[in-house]
Every structure is written in C-alpha cells, then in structure tokens.
Amino acid sequence: MTDQSKTAAQILADVKNELKEATTNFNAKAQEALNEVEKTGKLANKTKADVDELANKYNALEIAKNDLEVRLGDAEQKFAQLPSNSKNGKATLSNLIIAQSEALTKFSRDVQVGMRHRISIQDALTSPNLDGVIQPQRLTETVGPEKAKLVIRDLIAPGRTQSNAISWIQITGFTNAAKTVAENTKKPESSLQYESKITPVTTIAHTFKVSKQALDDLAQLASDFEIEMSYGLKLAEELQILFGDGTGVNLHGIMPQASAFQNLLEYENPTRIDILRLAMLQALVARVPATGHVLHCIDWAGIELEKDTTGRHIVGSPTDGSISSLWTLPVVESTLPEFEDQFLTGSFKYGAQLFDREDANIVIASENVDDFEKNMLTGRCEERLALAVKRPQAFIKGKFSEILNASGSSAG
C-alpha cells in the first residue's frame, strides 16, 4: 500500500469514528426531542436547532465516508495497476469491460454452432493478462468519484444472495417505552411491530443481435455492449426499484410503499427546496433520518437554476464539480418520464436493501432461430436481484405541483 493510500485509509478510519460518535449523539438528541413532543405537544426552537445541527453533521460525515470508500474501491485500484504502455492509445476503461476477455477473442476467431460465451460486466478488471488486447491510455486528467453521477442503486444498502428468494422482516412500527427505572423494579416493555416477508429473486433482461463480423472489432463491440445494453438494463432496474408493483415477477418498489408527504410545520408558501427539507423532517419524526433524495432531472435542474435576489444560484455553483446534494444529502437524478414532478426522500441505506443474485452479464450464442443463415449472433444481457423495503415509513414521496398548488406557492 502506498503512502498516499495509507493516508486515505487513515482519513476514512477517522471519519468512521466521527460518524459513530455523531450517530450516538444524534440518536440521543432525537429521543430527547420525541420525549419533549410527547410531554409538551411541541418542539422547542433550541431543541429543533440542535437536532438539525446533529443531523447535518451526521449526513455530511456519511457522504464523506461513502466518497472515501469509493476512492479506495477495487475498481479504481485495479485500473491504476494496469499497464500504461499503450501502443495506439485507443482503449478506454469501458472498452476493457469485454475486450480483456481472452475467451471472447478466441470466440471471435472460431465461432462454432452451439457455442456460447458469457461475459460478466462487473468483473471487467479482474484479469491482469491483457496481452494482445488494446491497452488503456493513461489520462493526464484525474477523473474522481466527485464527478460521477449517482444512481438510485448507490443509495440503497447492497447485499448478495445465493437463493432464489429472500426471507426477511419488515418493520412496520416501534413503540419506545424506555425510561429510567429504580432498582428491583420491572423494566418497561417496548413493542416492535413487524411482518415476515418472502421476496423472490427477479430477472431483468433483454436480447440483441450482432453480426459475426462485428466480433472483429472488439473495442467497438465492448463499447456497444456496455453503454447500450447495460444502460438499458439499469433503466429497467431503476423503474422496478421505484415503481414495481410487486405483482408477478415485478419487484415491490419503494414508491408504492412510501408515506405521502405531510407539512408537519404547516410551513407557508414552501418552495421545492423547502418541501424537500420538510420531507427530511418527516423521515426524522418517523425515527429514520433521511440519507438521500431522488428527483427527476428536469426538477433538479429547476432547483439548481433558482437564484436569490442578488442573481446568485441558491444551490451549488455552475463551476462546482462535486456530487449533487441538497441539505447535505446526495441527490440522484432520474430520467424516467414516470418520475417527473415527483420526489422521493428517505433513509435509503437503512430503509431498503438490494440483493444481487446474479450480476449484470452478457451471454453470446452462436445459434438462435435463423442466425446461421444470416451469419448473426444473439446476445442476452441480464441480471437477477431482489429488493427488500424493510422500513416503508423511512420513505417520503410527493408531487411538487400538488403541494405547491395546495399551499398557493409559486413553482420555485
């Protein structure tokens, strides 16, 4: 490990320790706030300010931890170790997704009837043997994770399974009876409401055609496979995570289970920025602090373009290359038409978990229907996964237009 990576690892360890301390302090202050509301029926301004300050610190540390973990990720480390003596400089990191496979090179030279070749999109950089394959060009510009766009999968807790179904517990409610007790007295009993759930693993897939001659250009083929096919797969995955209705082979998505937005403060004339802060408050009152926002790209662009009375942008800066965030939480931009005008705020890390059964991969077959006659090959791109929304109350959903119209606010 280099001195630089040691430094990054030490920083990550320090951030994790701070995050642990912040979590403890936040939980204690949140419980104090809840007790105050139960006793007096309202929340004092100072208590609210303290909770907000701790929540902001917690969220900032969480983002910092995730950012550092990405920087130290296996993919970045493996890519840094690849040979840099490219002879023609035509390859990119995405080209290596498939072009590194010796088996595919052999497959392209000697296609036989009934042959199949499987390519794992996730394991692009596992093979150090790249002889005979276009080598990557060493870029002079450092492209870090701060410039990478997040997707909804990045917000949700990851998991893996070797089974065809996931058995899990969905927490539907919690009544906290904890309090101070005298010696030799019965302790108060809290109650946890939950339901046992079984979620089957779902397959998301599509197929495509490619000519045998196309295999002569592995770099172009790799680009087509990764960019087009895997991107289409991830769009379908995002649609299922957000809107899957749980019927048949569909995932049971977050939006159908999320709580409707409530203006707990009866805040007058809220803007879209205010609405998202109120949604964070609603998640906090449900005892599950929010960890992210999901917005349609058009709605997020509208928020980023809002300006104050001096003409300066309220959210971020046109020259800011950091990950999109609002109220210290990361923002995921969705391009799904179904999500326009809607928002989803919640505790993605603690409220839901995505279990991968089979990573996204591509299988190429040399015989299918009339492939032999047309000198074509058939490819199949697919993945298998299951989604468990463990705490539905951790997610808050709403439509900007409905909320703004109900309050008489402008669209800002």
DSSP 87-140: SS--B-TTTHHHHT-HHHHHHHHS--TT-EEEEESTTTT-----TTSPPBP--S
- Running DSSP on this structure, what letter comes out for residue 307? B
Nearest to 215 by CA among 226, 224, 203, 202: 224
Triad 400, 403, 408: Cα angle to 5°: 115
The confidence score (pLDDT) of residue 331 equals 92
CA distance 130 to 152: 33
CA distance 84 to 139: 10
The confidence score (pLDDT) of residue 400 equals 95
Structure tokens at 272: 């879209």
Structural domains of the chain, ranges and CATH numbers in brackets: 73-412 (3.30.2400.10)
> For residue 200, how far is the Cα from the chain centroid?
21
The confidence score (pLDDT) of residue 97 equals 42
Per residue, the 3-state secondary structure of 219-272, as one string, reads: HHHHHHHHHHHHHHHHHHHHHHHHHCECCCCCCECCCCCCEECCCCCCCCCCCH
The confidence score (pLDDT) of residue 409 equals 60
Map tokens 């807790």 to a residue: 157
Q: Any bridge partners for residue 120, and if so which?
A: 361
- Running DSSP on this structure, what letter comes out for residue 83? -
The confidence score (pLDDT) of residue 95 equals 43
CA distance 130 to 133: 6
Query: pTM of this prediction?
Result: 0.63
The confidence score (pLDDT) of residue 111 equals 53
CA distance 318 to 208: 39
Using CA atoms, how far residue 387 sits from 127, 209, 238, 346, in Å, is 31, 30, 11, 16
The confidence score (pLDDT) of residue 244 equals 93
Residue type, position 321, single letter: G
The confidence score (pLDDT) of residue 280 equals 94
CA distance 25 to 96: 46
Per-10-residue mean pLDDT of the chain, 412 residues long, equals 50 70 73 71 71 69 60 46 43 42 54 58 42 40 47 87 84 82 89 81 86 65 68 89 91 94 90 94 90 93 88 78 82 91 93 89 76 78 90 93 80 52
